[in-house]
Amino acid sequence: MTDFDRSAVRWSMSSGLVEYPSAVSIMERHAASIRRQEAPELVWLLEHPALYTAGTSANSQDLKEPHRLPVFETGRGGQYTYHGPGQRIAYVMLDVQRRFGTDVRAFVAALESWIIDALADLGVRGEIRPGRVGVWVVEPGGEERKIAAIGIRVSRGVSYHGISLNVAPDLAHYGGIVPCGIADHGVTSLADLGRGASVKDVDMCLRRSFERRFGPVVDGQAPHEPASKPMAVPK
């Protein structure tokens, strides 16, 4: 086993846009290393190019414009969602077995609380709704819109994939899908709500909130894929 401090989660950020297949490959490898106690737990912050992902519960009818953006099938829970520039993604690789036992619902609830707490620091009230995973805001007219999505996979006690928080993405791209299979409610972002928060501001709030919920973090280098590994082709 590699000698490292297991008392703190590594907190890393990637600059630029990270290709989705590469990110999945990196997460799978790191989660396996955590399982073998060869690597520390990790939260990885990044942005993707504009794309759609289809979770394990995705309904093909919810892909309204299949040729609009690349579409990637993925092993996370959930349905179709959009990722793109201006959206802060946090991939969460944690030892769920050690922290929550077999209670994956408690883990998801902790992730929701993490986002809600971070949004509160940004002056936005986030809420959860029964039967609708993710975090929602209520606009002045009473309309509920989703501001953050959660899509997690837990394999043999270790999580990967994570959350996506809309800072200032191009919301028009959500028109190509039924986001998370929910047609009755739209999506929003911090920018759409009139909040001038930058990605850096969001990162600071996410870090503070994460430490309150999950414990201390330490800065770490962003993970990377070996240069020799070929990139997957989107479906």
pLDDT, one tens digit per residue, over 118-152 is 999 999 999 998 887 889 999 888 889 999 999 99
Residues 178, 90: Cα–Cα separation, whole Å:
22
- Quick one: which of 233, 235, 213, 230 has its CA closest to 116? 213
- Quick one: which of 178, 176, 204 has its CA closest to 13? 204
What domains lie within the chain, and their CATH numbers? 9-219 (3.30.930.10)
Residues carrying an active site annotation:
180
**Res. 77 pLDDT band, cuts 50 70 90:** confident
Predicted confidence at residue 4, as pLDDT, reads 64
Q: Taking 70 as the threshold, does the pLDDT of residue 26 lie above it? A: yes
Q: Which of 55-59, 81-85, 139-143 has the highest mean pLDDT?
A: 81-85
- Class of residue 195 by CB neighbours under 10 A (exposed 0-12, middle 13-18, buried 19+): middle
**Terminus-to-terminus CA distance in the chain, angstroms?**
37
